[in-house]
């Protein structure tokens, strides 16, 4: 079941429900480590990365149950093994999020350095520096980060770069530190805010989340609680592009529209009409071919790098030329070569992709290289003439819940084999 075949040329039409956000649920599951007693996490998306995080926590000694809605009840009171092994961190970089919570609650952590990653080098120096500034002793030995401390101490931490999981690691750790922590140049991504919401419900004292300065007054203890995970803005964006690239229409329920301004603006520029209510978004392309849109990825609220590959596919069939600039990850254009195999005319120069829109794409065998690259190939396949086979599709299950079911419900023709 590692390949999907898409018969292109079917317009997307209909409605779906957005799933919970991968990039919110992963830090939240890691953060269960700082709470005593049980936490109950609902609206958990059924994703491979969630299974991996559950396995990681279970290996450490967490008691965890997943019910038939995929909601998770978890108790991390007796973790006997504070290790995130290479095998897990290699397949899911978000395992690095165990570092801050483990050292904050258990005073010790051994977390593998993330392996060489396809989309870029992705160092974790800022995670390490932040924890060191709070008093953790950190050594990197044989590819593992070993962190120890008696109790972390609050400090002022100025992040050199805006880092999402770096901010999350420090934020979680600071909730149990002694005294105040100030994170400056913090990431303001909505998933950081959702994490803070969960931590506050556990009793943490946090203010400023969603701005570049987060203040945390450390507590002696936090208590497990209930939290419903926010919607996945990248899944929502991807399905909107699916409608746009096929000239179709879609309504997505359970949408977090305030978090999607940059994506909505670009979709509107392509010629789509985008309308919102409190928690739905409707896009209609009215059968038109997209206009080209220039894009520059940057931290929130600018255009998200996790939507870059999908817009490469959309621009590939646009009526004209566009330039996409990727500013976050140095190797995030691997989908380009595969899109070109389908007849796209895209040329990469440094961190820019110059895309000359073509009349149509043609189905071809292609290979997925990472999560959003696989999404872009599926989108291209929806619009292409003929059949597209996307190989190594397992990447897509890291971040999209039941993607072919959802797409087929909207009129796509996708088979997994
Ligand atoms: C699980 C999760 O939430 N993943 C998201 C998170 O990844 P992730 O948190 O890994 O991405 P970061 O925000 O940390 O990366 C931003 C930039 O900072 C650099 N950097 C980061 C940390 C560090 O210690 N040193 C350093 O130099 C990175 O190489 C990159 O160039 O944010 C990315 C940027 O929005 C998204 O693409 C990912 O989907
Ligand atoms: C890059 C991504 O995820 P991760 O940070 O988990 O690799 C992504 O969601 O597009």
- pLDDT tens, position by position, 381-403: 999 999 999 999 999 999 999 99
Going by pLDDT thresholds of 50, 70 and 90, the confidence category of residue 116 is low
pLDDT of residue 268: 98
Distance CA 304, CA 298 (A): 6
Task: Go through the chain and tell me how many residues it has.
Answer: 417
Q: What was the pLDDT predicted at 118?
A: 81
Please give the distance, rounded to the nearest whole angstrom, from the Cα atom of residue 167 to the centre of ligand 1.
Answer: 10
- How far away, in angstroms, is 368 Cα from ligand 1 center? 21
Among 161, 235, 374, residue to substitute to test ligand 1 (most atoms within 8 Å of Cβ): 161
Residue 68 pLDDT level (bands cut at 50, 70, 90): confident
* 132 Rama sector, left if φ>0, alpha if ψ -120 to 50, beta otherwise: alpha
Confidence of residue 42 (pLDDT cuts 50, 70, 90): very high
Average pLDDT, integer, range 33-46:
98
Q: Which atom of ligand 1 is nearest to the CA of 163?
A: 13
pLDDT over 80 (residue 34)? yes
pLDDT of residue 1 exceeding 80, the answer is: no
**Is 326 close to ligand 2, i.e. is its CB under 6 Å away?**
no
pTM: 0.98
**pLDDT higher than 70, residue 87:** yes
CA distance 21 to 155: 30
pLDDT digit string, tens, across residues 186-208: 999 999 999 999 999 999 999 99
93 annotated as a binding-site residue? yes
Percentage of the chain exceeding pLDDT 90: 96
Whether 399 is in the pocket of ligand 2, judged by its Cβ within 6 Å, is yes
Task: Please tell me if the CB atom of residue 330 comes closer than 6 angstroms to any atom of ligand 1.
Answer: no
Ligand 1 closest atom vs CA 305: 37
Q: Are 244 and 216 in contact (CB under 8 A)?
A: no
Residues 324-383 have pLDDT tens digits of 999 999 999 999 999 999 999 999 999 999 999 999 999 999 999 999 999 999 999 999
CA of 20 to the centre of ligand 2 (A): 15
Residue 99 assigned as binding residue: no
Ligand 2 pocket residue status of 371, Cβ below 6 Å = yes
Q: Residues with catalytic annotation? A: 117
**CA 33 to ligand 1 centroid distance, Å:** 22
- Mean pLDDT on 103-121: 88
Q: How many helices (H) and strands (E) does the chain have?
A: 13, 26
The 3-state secondary structure of 139-192 reads: EEECCEEEEECCCCECCEEECCCCCHHHHHHHHHHHCCCECEEEEECCCCCHHH
- Residue closest by Cα to atom 26 of ligand 1: 123
pLDDT at residue number 69: 83
Cα–Cα–Cα angle for 270, 273, 305, nearest 5°?
50
Q: Annotation-wise, does 123 bind a ligand?
A: yes
């Amino acid at each position: 079941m590692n390949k999907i075949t898409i018969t292109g040329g079917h317009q997307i039409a209909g409605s779906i429900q957005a799933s919970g956000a991968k990039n919110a649920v992963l830090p939240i599951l890691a953060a269960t480590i700082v709470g005593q007693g049980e936490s109950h996490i609902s609206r958990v998306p059924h994703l491979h990365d969630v299974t991996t995080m559950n396995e990681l926590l279970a290996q450490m000694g967490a008691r965890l149950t997943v019910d038939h809605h995929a909601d998770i009840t978890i108790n991390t009171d007796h973790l006997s093994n504070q290790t995130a092994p290479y095998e897990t961190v290699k397949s899911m970089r978000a395992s690095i999020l165990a570092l801050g919570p483990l050292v904050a609650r258990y005073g010790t952590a051994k977390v593998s350095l993330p392996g060489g990653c396809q989309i870029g080098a992705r160092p974790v120096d800022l995670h390490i520096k932040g924890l060191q500034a709070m008093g953790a002793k950190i050594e990197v030995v044989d590819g593992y980060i070993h962190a120890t401390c008696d109790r972390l101490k609050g400090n002022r931490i100025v992040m050199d770069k805006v880092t999402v999981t770096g901010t999350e690691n420090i934020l979680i750790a600071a909730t149990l530190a002694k005294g105040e922590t100030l994170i400056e140049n913090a990431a303001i991504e909505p998933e950081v805010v959702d994490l803070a919401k969960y931590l506050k419900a556990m009793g943490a004292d946090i203010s400023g989340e969603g701005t570049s300065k987060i203040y945390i007054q450390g507590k002696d203890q936090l208590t497990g609680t209930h939290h419903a995970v926010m919607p996945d803005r990248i899944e929502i964006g991807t399905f909107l592009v699916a409608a746009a690239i096929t000239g179709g229409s879609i309504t997505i329920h359970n949408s977090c529209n305030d978090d999607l301004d940059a994506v909505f603006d670009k979709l509107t520029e392509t010629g789509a009409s985008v309308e919102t209510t409190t928690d739905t978004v409707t896009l209609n392309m009215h059968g038109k071919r997209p206009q080209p849109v220039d894009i520059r990825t940057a931290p929130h609220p600018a255009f998200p790098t996790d939507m870059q590959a999908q817009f490469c596919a959309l621009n590939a069939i646009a009526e004209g030329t566009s330039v996409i600039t990727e500013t976050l990850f140095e190797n995030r254009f691997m989908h380009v070569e595969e899109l070109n195999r389908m007849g796209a005319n895209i040329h990469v120069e440094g961190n820019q992709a110059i895309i000359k829109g073509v009349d149509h794409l043609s189905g071809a065998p292609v290979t997925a290289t990472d999560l959003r690259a696989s999404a872009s190939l599926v989108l291209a396949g929806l619009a292409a003439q003929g059949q597209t086979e996307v190989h190594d599709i397992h990447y897509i299950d890291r971040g999209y819940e039941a993607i072919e079911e959802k797409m087929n419900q909207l009129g796509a023709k996708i088979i997994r084999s």
